[in-house]
Amino acid sequence: MSTLLPRARRRSRHRALARARACLPLSLMAHVTWSFAADAQPASTDTTNADTTLAPVVVSAQAAPRASSLDPNLPANVSTFTADQFDNWNVTSAEDVLKYAPNMAVRKRFIGDLNSTIAVRGTSNSQTARGLVYADGLLLSNFLGNTWTYAPRWSMIFADDIERTDVIYGPYSALYPGNSIGATVSITTRMPTKFEADAKVQAFTQHFDLFGVNRNFNGTNTTATVGDKIG
């Protein structure tokens, strides 16, 4: 009897331990250890849980273009063009960044045309008051009239200073005046991150032979910019 009682007590302790572990969540069982003086075991020499040094992970990212000022939940179709795209185009003035915008026509008769108007489906090039053009929130559209002689003031910005262009296709909403029934062009210019200077000279020629006109149109375009960021 003296040898059976300790064994019975150990069995009862093991049964109680098994029942207690069955009632514990798995997340707690990993942190709870049970020890009894009668069941003490020698220290384990298993090295499977030894600390392991992982290789370093390097995360790098490229500076993203300047975020658009548009509402991300804007209920309209928007086409976006960034400087990385139209750097490969033949851009001489600001309106040239819209030459490949879907469902949009830019009335540019020749390089340097001051009456370059925009039109989308539902409007024409002679309805300039049905479209809006903004540059950093500044209105470039000319609402003194509603015909092809009242084009946006494209000369207010340099083509090289444009970072992104968003074209919002109508109809208008409370965000913009009713003139946006056709389309709204939102131009975002870039800001320098360090000292930079740029100069560009362009020469062009265009031959036109139509409607009784047969001649060459020549011209030049010279731009120079200087920028810096302090602080």
Tell me, yes or no, whether 223 lies in a domain: no
Within this chain, do residues 178 and 105 fall inside the same structural domain, yes or no? Answer: yes
What is the rounded radius of gyration, in angstroms, for the C-alpha atoms of the chain?
Answer: 36
In this structure, how many other beta carbons lie within 10 angstroms of the beta carbon of residue 229?
10
Distance CA 100, CA 93 (A): 14
Tell me, yes or no, whether 96 lies in a domain: yes
Within this chain, do residues 5 and 108 fall inside the same structural domain, yes or no? Answer: no
Within this chain, do residues 83 and 153 fall inside the same structural domain, yes or no? Answer: yes
Tell me, yes or no, whether 56 lies in a domain: no
Within this chain, do residues 93 and 25 fall inside the same structural domain, yes or no? Answer: no
State whether residue 35 is helix, strand or coil: coil
Short-list 68, 95, 93, 91, CA closest to 79 = 68
pLDDT string in tens for the chain (231-residue length):
444 555 556 566 667 666 666 655 544 444 444 444 445 455 555 555 667 888 888 887 665 555 566 777 777 788 888 888 888 888 888 888 888 888 888 888 877 788 888 888 878 888 888 888 999 989 999 989 888 888 899 888 888 889 999 998 877 677 788 888 888 899 999 888 899 998 888 888 888 899 898 999 888 888 888 999 998
Within this chain, do residues 182 and 112 fall inside the same structural domain, yes or no? Answer: yes
Tell me, yes or no, whether 110 lies in a domain: yes
Tell me, yes or no, whether 9 lies in a domain: yes
Residue indicated by tokens 């000319």? 142
Tell me, yes or no, whether 204 lies in a domain: no
Give the CATH number of the domain where residue 109 resides: 2.170.130.10
Residue type, 218: N
Q: Are 125 and 148 in contact (CB under 8 A)?
A: yes
Distance CA 27, CA 21 (A): 11
Within this chain, do residues 93 and 173 fall inside the same structural domain, yes or no? Answer: yes
Within this chain, do residues 187 and 82 fall inside the same structural domain, yes or no? Answer: yes
Within this chain, do residues 25 and 119 fall inside the same structural domain, yes or no? Answer: no
Alpha carbon dihedral 9, 13, 19, 25, in 10-degree steps, equals: 180
DSSP annotation of 19:
H
Backbone angles phi, psi at 200, to 5 degrees: -145, 140
Tell me the pairing of strands 117-120 and 104-107: antiparallel
Could you tell me the residue range of the domain that residue 151 belongs to?
78-191
Tell me, yes or no, whether 126 lies in a domain: yes
Short-list 124, 132, 117, 80, CA closest to 102 = 80
Count of structural domains within the chain: 2
Tell me, yes or no, whether 69 lies in a domain: no
Within this chain, do residues 14 and 116 fall inside the same structural domain, yes or no? Answer: no
